Amino acid sequence: MGALPDEIKPAMQGVIPSSVVTCSLDGVPNATTISQVYYVDPDHVALSYQFFNKTIKNIRENPQAAVWVISPETFETWDLEIEYDHSETSGPVFEAMDMQIEAIASMTGMKGIFKLKAADIYRVRSVRKNIEERIPLAEIERQAAA
């Protein structure tokens, strides 16, 4: 049985951007937003390698990362701990991700700006569904009303 449950798949459709956090070998963290976390199989995901050079540098030094994905259907959030395995610049995963990134770019008026360099494949070490709100919306609304 794989680490990723079927119910996480909607969070990996690229509808809501995801966050990825890496750390350099000397302990300097880096957080960024990515357009796509792609479901490869129950034990692997692919991150779109487009233009985040600091993230790639960190991954090459220290192959561990944390990813936060959000389901566009339920707004449930998931935390994934992942480990870099390899990069693909052709093949079915790369082609599917490239096509989806082109669709995302077209829908957001950024056609021609997003260019997939590689599909970076990661092994999922752990996955956790978040039960409580990550962003305390009730508190934000209360403060805004004050």
pLDDT reported for residue 92 = 96
Higher pLDDT, 71 or 52: 71
Q: Kindly report, residue by residue over 94-112, the tens digit of the pLDDT.
A: 999 888 877 766 666 666 6
Q: Band of the pLDDT at 48, cuts 50, 70, 90?
A: confident
104-134 exposure pattern, b = at least 16 Cβ within 10 A, e = fewer = bbeeeeeeeebebebbbbbbbeebeeeeeee
pLDDT-wise least confident of 44-53, 87-96, 97-106: 97-106
Mean pLDDT of 12-34: 90
Q: Band of the pLDDT at 67, cuts 50, 70, 90?
A: very high
Q: Band of the pLDDT at 79, cuts 50, 70, 90?
A: very high
Q: Would you say 87 and 93 are in contact if contact means Cβ atoms under 8 Å apart?
A: no
As assigned by CATH, the class of the 6-145 domain is: mainly beta
Mean pLDDT of 82-95: 95
Residues 6+ apart with CB under 8 A from 75: none
Q: What region does 27 belong to: left with phi over 0, alpha with psi -120 to 50, or beta? A: left
Q: Locate the domains of the chain by residue range.
A: 6-145
pLDDT reported for residue 74 = 86
Q: What is the mean pLDDT of the chain?
A: 86
Higher pLDDT, 104 or 33: 33
pLDDT reported for residue 111 = 65
Q: Looking at this protein, which amino acid is placed at residue 18?
A: S
Higher pLDDT, 90 or 103: 90
3-state secondary structure of 104: helix
